[in-house]
Chain A
Amino acid sequence: MQEEQATTTTRTSNKYGIDIFSNNTTVKEKRRYWIHALVYVFALLPTIWPLVLPFNRVEPYILGMPFNMTLGVVAVLVVFINTVVLYRFEHSTFLE
């Protein structure tokens, strides 16, 4: 698979031609990737309709901010942490 031309032996696509992971990705790693993807989705969903509705309120104030604004900040922080953790999973260490 390191060769210029792709060879059919490394083909990993399903019957629809969709090919997300390489053969070198273990089942465990795949599961880990899906979990990270889900964390992004679950961070985003409460900021948009319909899940934002219960959070779309002013009180309680957190760090002085209305609750819906705090929610936005928390979502961005989750993106930050999730991505750093994902990087560490792939490359062992973030600081090098």
Chain B
Amino acid sequence: MVDTSLLIILGIPCLYLIVALGVGLWGSRSADQSQSEGYIAGDRKIGLLVLYFILGASALSAFSFLGAPGWAYGRGAAALYILVYVGFGFVPLYVIGPKAARLGKKYGYVTQAELVADRYNSRWLAPLMAIVSIGAFIPYSVLQMRAVGFIFSEASQGLIPFWLAALIPFAIIVIYVFFAGVMGVGLSNVLQGMMMLSLAWILGLYLPFSLYGGIQPMFQEIALEQPTHLLIGQPELHIFEYSSLIVVSILGFVMWPHSFMRVYTSDERTIKKTVALYPTFALMLVPILLVGFAGVMSAPGVEQIDRILPHLITTLEFSPWVVGLFFAATLAAAMSSADSILHAAGSVFARDFVKHGFRDDMDGKQEAWTAKWGMVVIAIISYYFAIVSNVEIVFLLAGAYGAIVQFLPLVIGVFFWEKATKEGAFTGLLAGSLVTVYYTFIAPEPFHIHPGLWGLLVTTTVFTAVSTMTDVENVDHARRFIEDSRPTPIADGGKEESSDKDEE
């Protein structure tokens, strides 16, 4: 009997992996994979359903099934920061997404960095941003690999060793991303996103009812035993830290190159609709947090808080079908981010680092080749680090946000500020990144405010001040980005659209 249940528990994730591979590879038919524009940007014709799941499922990684319940379990109401920032995260994309997409279509951009580098007329900005991005992508995919290895080896009850359990799903990702590019990422993310949504809502509603007889009884019991657990603030997380984490995470959300560059895969209306519908995906954090809270009274004392959900699932005597589905959906959550990250890393490497840095004459075919093999090498590097290193899941993610978020002022400058200069961009980015690194690794951050937010303050100040003191090399060049990013009147028969102001 044990064998039958193991067969089911391990069989469902395996089945999922095979289907994911097939669905991913199927995407190779939808765009020209031998050319960079097809491989990286899906020939700019991705529709609403796929874009919704690319952005949604990529943004929510293994963190959604491991880290987030862990926060609710270990840090209580502080975990609400995740719900808020994910819900607001794509709002800035409503403004800058269509603008970037229009410029991309007109001038052939497929990455965030080349847009910024072209505006600021700088040869080294794109390669530099590529290095920073890949520097963030590697730890990000390392996290996904470790999660995948842990989940898959747990599903097999240790039968599959950790190194192999991390290797198999990643090999599958590498295969479909290699052959199907962003279309492979997109189609597999539709499958993965649906699995994530269903598992989250099923478990999140089921656990509180089965363990406590309801959601409110669960919270009442927690409130009685641990009164501070349901309140934002100390002892779990200082309220300044909580608030600044929300703000910096929202500002950084679309600056992640693997999210930002997806605007080049689609058109204005699809992007805006995706942003509008995205909160429906983000609401899946509600049941996810409920799961974490459900562990508080029913499974006290779990040391590694990231493992609270697997712990609940494996100790509560669920039907093997539910357990198998859980493992498969968690794999899906990790893989849907990992494929997007690896694809973006390869693309950024080829376009921003190699092409803009050293080989301007590279054609689309050579570039696609470089992106594919760059992706493979980055996957191997990540695999190497995944098997050796050991850092807690969320702080690394939050730390990486801190560096990426520094791109924001530069991007806003592209669309709204003709007097922004190259000197301003460079000094701002440098100063802000240094401050972020300083408060992340060397000194404690003042007033419990997130290092990335201090960095952003410095980036914005220096960028503005230096731009004001220096002259734009070519105002017409700068104007071109502002005006070409706007819709041409009567372009698509609809109402004339104009730029909204970024709400931050």
Contacts and interface: CB of A to CB of B under 8 A. Distances in A.
A49 B498 contact: no
A19 B243 contact: no
Contacts of A72: 80, 83-84, 87
Given A17-B420, A53-B239, A56-B77, 18 more contacts: A2-B489, A25-B498, A29-B496, A30-B498, A38-B503, A44-B88, A49-B240, A49-B242, A52-B243, A56-B233, A57-B231, A63-B215, A64-B218, A66-B230, A69-B80, A72-B80, A80-B277, A83-B91
Contacts of A92: 494-495
B: interface residue count bin: 35 or more
Interface of B: 77, 80, 83-84, 87-88, 91, 94, 208, 214-216, 218-220, 223, 230-233, 239-240, 242-243, 246-247, 250, 269, 272-273, 275-277, 279-280, 282-283, 286, 289, 416-420, 476, 479-480, 482-484, 486, 488-489, 494-503
B476 A5 contact: yes
Would you list the 6 A-B pairs with minimal beta carbon distance, nearest first? A64-B215, A17-B419, A76-B87, A48-B243, A25-B498, A64-B216
Contacts of B269: 91
Contacts of A40: 88, 91, 503
What is the predominant secondary structure among interface residues of chain B facing chain A?
helix
Contacts of B280: 80
Contact of B501 (A1, A34, A56): A34
Nearest to B233: A56
Contact of B232 (A21, A52, A73): A52
B279 A61 contact: no
Contacts, number: 174
7 contacts: A24-B496, A24-B498, A29-B498, A44-B250, A65-B216, A76-B279, A83-B279
Given A17-B417, A73-B286, A87-B273, A61 B80 contact: no
B59 to A, nearest CB: 14
A: interface residue count bin: 35 or more
Most chain B CB inside 10 Å of its own CB: which residue of A38, A57, A83: A83
Interface in A40-93: 40-41, 43-44, 47-49, 52-53, 56-58, 61, 63-66, 68-69, 72-73, 75-77, 79-80, 83-84, 86-87, 89-92
Most chain B CB inside 10 Å of its own CB: which residue of A36, A57, A65, A89: A65
Contacts of B282: 76
